[in-house]
């Protein structure tokens, strides 16, 4: 168990000490049209929404930063307080450590706060047998939900990260059936971890009971790069090279929002660094925007610092609504967006 705790500690440390972001933030290639005469008062703008049955003051979710090691308790506590005060959603990191016998306090801490949307988290690779490791069961999944009083459970797809991880779980056959089985009885969403979800994969997931997709495309943290740095620290040359070579692998986040829009609610994540990015994702078809890396350093400081940063993000979101003449999210979702640069090239390819 100490191995998992140490790995999670490494992930946070490396994310803060090294440049592990995508070399390009593709959200900057998406432009909105300025409305010079908005005809709406800023204070009258309503950015509230209902997502997966939960009422949010703004369609922003702090997505799956961490859990499973001592420092994570403080991070998740600070996040929970801020998200409660602001009325926005919160997801925890993978709960595998607690499900395999580790201390669950870094997760259960968020039960003490009235966060309007809480998202649990387990990995798809752990739903099947990996080498000498047992597969997580429906009982384990329910335990993950109960651990934080989760409204929904995210099953994360992190096979790129697993390939770059020295001790990675690299079996995948059977994961789809395992997800389908869980989704029959439990409130399940699917979350990528930085490489995006294609239209084909989204269509495969549609209709098996999955309630939403968190696309988490290329633009934000590359866990391939994180694992590459970690492998270097461990003197694991092979996995370090895999992490480096595939550090930019995946589907750009804005493209994944478009391509994965098959009728399931979408959380746009991967490089959402400010409220403009978040609002832009709503015009592209997302129902909520998820952010993690942008908030991490504040979450390590205090709940006040976390809340202060998130308040700025929400104001940036509302400013985008004001400057596009949008009184509510329905009007924002109907605004035009323009694709430029690499995102436009990707979109042209997908249209062929």
Structural domains in the chain, sorted by start: 2-351 (3.20.20.70)
pLDDT, residue 352, reads 56
Q: Is 133 helix (H, G, I), strand (E, B) or coil?
A: strand
pLDDT, residue 25, reads 98
Cα–Cα distance for residue pair 41/50, rounded to 1 Å: 23
Binding-site annotation, residues for FMN:
63-66, 94, 121, 191, 216, 221, 292-293
pLDDT, residue 35, reads 98
Q: Is 130 helix (H, G, I), strand (E, B) or coil?
A: strand
Q: Hey, which residues does 89 pair with through a beta bridge?
A: 61
Q: Is 167 helix (H, G, I), strand (E, B) or coil?
A: coil
Nearest to 68 by CA among 113, 98, 38, 34: 98
Binding-site annotation, residues for Mg(2+):
162
Binding-site annotation, residues for substrate:
7-8, 94-96, 161
Binding-site annotation, residues:
7-8, 63-66, 94-96, 121, 161-162, 191, 216, 221, 292-293
pLDDT, residue 145, reads 98
pLDDT, residue 351, reads 66
Measure the N-to-C terminal CA separation of the chain; round to a whole number of Å. 48
The runs of H, that is alpha helices, within 69-153 are 70-86, 96-99, 105-108, 138-148
pLDDT, residue 8, reads 84
- Asked if residues 151 and 118 have their Cβ atoms less than 8 Å apart, the reply is yes
Q: Tens digits of per-residue pLDDT, 165-211?
A: 999 999 999 999 999 999 999 999 999 999 999 999 999 999 899 99
**Secondary structure, 3-state, 10-77:** HHHHHHHHCCCECCCCHHHHEEECCCCCCCCCHHHCECCEEECCEEECCCEEECCCCCCCHHHHHHHH
Q: How far are the Cα atoms of 94, 152, 185 from residue 72, in angstroms, in the given order?
A: 12, 21, 30
The segments of the chain whose pLDDT lies below 50 read: 1
pLDDT, residue 1, reads 43
């Amino acid at each position: 168990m100490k191995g998992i705790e140490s790995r999670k500690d490494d992930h946070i440390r490396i994310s803060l000490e090294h440049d592990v972001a995508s070399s390009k933030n593709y959200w900057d290639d998406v432009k909105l049209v300025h409305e010079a005469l908005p005809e709406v008062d800023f204070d009258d703008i309503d950015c509230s929404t209902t997502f997966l049955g939960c009422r949010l003051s703004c369609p922003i979710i702090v997505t799956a930063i961490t859990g499973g090691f001592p420092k994570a308790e403080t991070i998740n506590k600070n996040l929970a307080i801020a998200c409660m005060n602001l009325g926005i959603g919160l997801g925890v990191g993978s709960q595998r450590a607690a499900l395999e016998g580790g201390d669950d306090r870094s997760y259960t801490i968020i039960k003490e706060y009235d966060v309007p949307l809480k998202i649990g988290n387990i990995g798809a690779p752990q739903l099947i047998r990996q080498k000498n490791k047992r597969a997580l069961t429906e009982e384990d999944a329910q335990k993950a939900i109960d651990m934080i009083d989760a409204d929904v459970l995210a099953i994360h797809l992190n096979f790129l990260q697993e390939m770059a991880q020295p001790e990675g779980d690299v079996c995948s056959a059977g994961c789809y059936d395992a997800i389908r089985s869980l989704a029959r009885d439990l409130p399940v969403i699917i979350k990528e971890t930085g490489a995006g979800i294609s239209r084909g994969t989204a269509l495969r997931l549609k209709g098996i009971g999955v309630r939403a997709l968190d696309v988490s495309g290329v633009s934000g943290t590359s866990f391939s790069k994180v694992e590459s740095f970690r492998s270097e620290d461990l003197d694991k040359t092979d996995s370090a090279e895999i992490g480096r070579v595939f550090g930019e692998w995946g589907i750009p986040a804005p493209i994944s929002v478009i391509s994965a829009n098959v009728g399931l609610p979408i959380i746009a994540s991967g490089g959402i660094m400010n409220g403009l990015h978040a609002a832009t994702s709503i015009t592209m078809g997302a129902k909520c925007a998820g952010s993690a890396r942008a908030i991490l350093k504040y979450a390590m400081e205090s709940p006040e610092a976390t809340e202060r940063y998130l308040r700025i993000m929400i104001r940036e979101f509302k400013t985008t609504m004001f400057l596009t003449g949008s009184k509510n999210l329905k009007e924002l979702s109907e605004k035009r967006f323009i694709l430029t640069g690499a995102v436009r090239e990707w979109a042209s390819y997908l249209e062929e």
